[in-house]
Amino acid sequence: MRREDLLGAGRGERMAVAAFAAAFVALLALMPAWRADDRPAGEAMTPAAFAAWESDFAARYETGGVARPPPGDVPVLARRFTFVPALELRVGQTYRLAFSSADGVHSAAIAGREVLVVPGRVTVITLTPTRPGPLDLRCGEYCGLGHSRMRGRITVVP
Say if pTM beats, i.e. exceeds, 0.75. Answer: no
Cα–Cα distance between 143 and 129 in angstroms, integer? 28
For the chain, which ranges sit under pLDDT 70? 1-10, 27-42
Write down the pLDDT at residue 94.
Answer: 96
| Alpha-carbon 31 to chain mean position | 21
Q: Which pLDDT belongs to residue 106?
A: 92
